[in-house]
Chains A and B, each alone.
Chain A
Amino acid sequence: MSDCCFEACQSQRLPDPEDETFLAVRNLSVHYGAKVALESVDIDIQRGRVTALIGPSGCGKTSFLFTLNRLSDLIPGCGVGGRVRFEGTEIYSDGVDIGLLRANIGMVFQKPNLFPVSIRKNLYLPLREHGCPVNQLDRRSEEVLREVGLWSEVSDRLDASAHSLSGGQQQRLCIARALTLRPKLLLMDEPCSSLDPMATDVIERLILKMRGEYSIVIVTHNLAQAQRIADDVAVFWCHDESGCVIESGHAEAVFRAPKQPDTVAYLAGQRG
């Protein structure tokens, strides 16, 4: 069985990325100290599509997400090997402006993590940081709040504490905050895992609305959710306690006719 898995990992080799590839990951590995969390991942992420990362927990999906905007730099003992190429730039090469990279690749976390300041200030902070002129702040804030459908709900209390919002509203404000910088890619780490079904539904519809305009990579444990929102999927699997990607491609193809036995079992709810 483990041989099969090993081969599965190897079977995902992709050729060298072409320059117009939106986001290309080659031979990526992540380790925490001596423990390898993720090995030899090859994936191409397409522009304007929603890519769902699925698989059992502990298989390195979140670790993978953290490498794409180099948030992995902040995790003690975390080392990254291999290549990540975003719009023709190797993001792990020297002289990469990490601030700029993270402005171009936004991120939304499992739990809403708004700053302990007002709703307005939460949106102003990234805008000011990246040089948005003062007279544009209000316009841009309103834009993103309308995009995530929060404007009608909070327009009359922008100066209230962001923590006074409900969980679903907070998560949408987090998305709005990430959108303030007009990111080309939005990373979402199980954005609905702390929300109730109603709030989850709102976020899912929001993701569907954003498709095309934004490129989204979303980690989810919820297969039904992946089926509802994903254009592409990548299936993460564990082998010898380290994760790898065993299968990736168009969502429909993977869900309808999975190639790997582990994927078949996982989708059928028999494993993982």
Chain B
Amino acid sequence: MKTRGATRNDRILLWGLRGASVLASSIVLLIVYFLLAESLPALRRIGIARFVTDGDWLPSTAEGENQYRLVPMLAATLLSTLGAVLIAAPAGLLSAVFCHFYAPKALATLQRRIVELLAGIPSVIYGFWGLVTLVPILQRLAPPGQNLLAGILVLTLMILPTIAMLASATLATIPQAHLQGAAALGLSRWTTLRGVVLPEAAPGLLIALLLGTMRAVGETMAVLMVCGNVVQIPTSLFDPVRTLTANIALEMGYATSEHRSVLFVSGLALMALVVLLIGLQRQFRRSVTLV
């Protein structure tokens, strides 16, 4: 009978599944391994301290005189992310609230569809649009127009759909009965939002915020195109800056030896930031499901 062969097929299948799964999950390990392996020369010969104490970012001068100050890039990454999250979080939430509580059905669907489409637009298009539309406007305010503010605005646009979609999914989980309860008490929409909706949705909103932050930290193309890419710690929103990601994109093409290794160090730093955010998010998700 055929059944004997079938159990053998099942065994082969199971090993195939396990093999593929191990392969898929080993990618992360490979990434960490190669980041570490490539940054090790820099970490060993230059040391972490010099990424802070060096006077400047001069990665390809005469041998032995290179300077590797990463602080300005790190500052640019953190500031642009912070700015984008500060705008996109409330805006994303309001957009989700609009879909669920304010908009007539047709408008809500339209808004939802627009947010979905915004989420699907590639970062290079956002960057391009920022460059040809946003930057000329900012240029009139403060030349050269490619600056931190441009980066923040473009990043805001990019992470807004992520936050809006997740916030919307969270709002959808609020039991109808609670909303009806609030309505029965004659509460105004704003009181209902503040008293019932926001407290219940808070954990989900925080997760949305973390995911948005993650996306902003890792974004390359858009900030590369609109931020001006000058290595400096910005003193105002109108200063051009260069983020960690943009720095890698700009210099990987020609970087060799020590310089290349330092770029991998900045990649490692990005990875560490992202893993931290994911860890926070997983931790948070777990504590939410426990309640």
Contacts and interface: CB of A to CB of B under 8 A. Distances in A.
Do the two chains touch directly in the complex (Cβ atoms below 8 Å apart)?
yes
Interface of A: 97-100, 103, 129-131
Nearest to A101: B3
B27 interface: no
Nearest to B4: A97
Question: Ordered nearest first, which 5 A-B pairs have the shortest CB separation?
Answer: A131-B2, A99-B3, A100-B3, A97-B3, A99-B6
Interface string B4-15: 101100000000
A97 B2 contact: no
B160 to A, nearest CB: 39
A98 B10 CA distance: 12
Interface in B66-96: none
B291 interface: no
Contacts, number: 18
A130 B7 CA distance: 12
B141 interface: no
Size category, B interface? under 10
Contacts of B6: 99, 129
Nearest to A130: B2
A103 B2 CA distance: 12
Task: State the main secondary structure of chain A at its contact with B.
Answer: helix
Task: State the main secondary structure of chain B at its contact with A.
Answer: helix
B22 interface: no
Nearest to B2: A131
Interface in B209-258: none
B1 interface: yes
Interface of B: 1-4, 6-7
18 contacts: A97-B3, A97-B4, A97-B7, A98-B7, A99-B3, A99-B6, A99-B7, A100-B1, A100-B3, A103-B3, A129-B2, A129-B6, A130-B1, A130-B2, A130-B3, A131-B1, A131-B2, A131-B3
Residue of B2, B3, B4, B6 with most chain A CB atoms under a 10 A cut-off: B3
Contacts of B1: 100, 130-131
B8 to A, nearest CB: 11
A99 B11 CA distance: 14
Contacts of A99: 3, 6-7
Contacts of B2: 129-131
Contacts of A130: 1-3
Contacts of B4: 97
Contacts of A100: 1, 3
A98 B3 CA distance: 9
Nearest to B1: A131
Contacts of B3: 97, 99-100, 103, 130-131
B10 to A, nearest CB: 9
Given A97-B7, A99-B6, 16 more contacts: A97-B3, A97-B4, A98-B7, A99-B3, A99-B7, A100-B1, A100-B3, A103-B3, A129-B2, A129-B6, A130-B1, A130-B2, A130-B3, A131-B1, A131-B2, A131-B3
A136 to B, nearest CB: 14
Nearest to A128: B2
A142 to B, nearest CB: 22
A138 to B, nearest CB: 19
A174 to B, nearest CB: 21
A104 to B, nearest CB: 11
